[in-house]
Amino acid sequence: MRALFLTLLSFVFFAMMGQTYAHAQLRPMVYTDKIIDAPIETVWQDWTTSEGLESFFAPKAIVEARPGGAYEIWFAPDAPAGQRGAENGIIIGLQTSNDGPRMISFTWAMPPYMEDIRPHMTVVQLWFVPQSSRKTRLRLFHTGFGDTKAWQEGRDYFAKTWPEVLTRYAKHVDDNAAATAR
């Protein structure tokens, strides 16, 4: 009888865990992707080094390309701490490959004006998928948004902003290629 009770209790526990997991997967997220006219190595370097990020994204970036390393992008480097941009981000994961997809994931802060949710970090995951020797698909997933109105505004902000960032990055790559060809 005790074995039957424990089996039923385990079943209920795992069923509840499955529902919790499924609910977590249904949380709002932002997804965008863009084909970049550059080899994967170029795109990878641009997104995983301070120099690369500073060439197109913001005036100051701090990147320590290792799990647990810093991933900060400062849009206002002269502003006081907490007002510079995506501060205090850390790299969660880094996957490299010589001939296949690569991935970096890092924590991300909400913009400074979103004071209620700024202290709570979200997660950005970038996949770099080779399309040919000269093209790379950049896939961006941004997750970790809560359920309140403030979080919805944060998600809406990034649903608009991330596609613009990838478009600006693609233009940056195209402009550099054109300048190099001259």
- Return per-residue pLDDT of the chain as tens, 182 residues: 555 444 444 444 444 445 444 455 567 899 999 999 999 999 999 999 999 999 999 999 999 999 999 999 999 999 999 999 999 999 999 999 887 889 999 999 999 999 999 999 999 999 999 999 999 999 999 999 999 999 999 999 999 999 999 999 999 999 988 888 87
Q: What is the CATH number of the domain that holds 152?
A: 3.30.530.20
Name the token pair of 42: 């170029």
Parent domain of 112: 28-181
In a domain? residue 123:
yes
Residue 106: beta bridge partners? 91, 124
pLDDT the model gives residue 28 = 84
pLDDT the model gives residue 10 = 45
In a domain? residue 18:
no
Beta pairing class for 30-36 and 91-95: unpaired
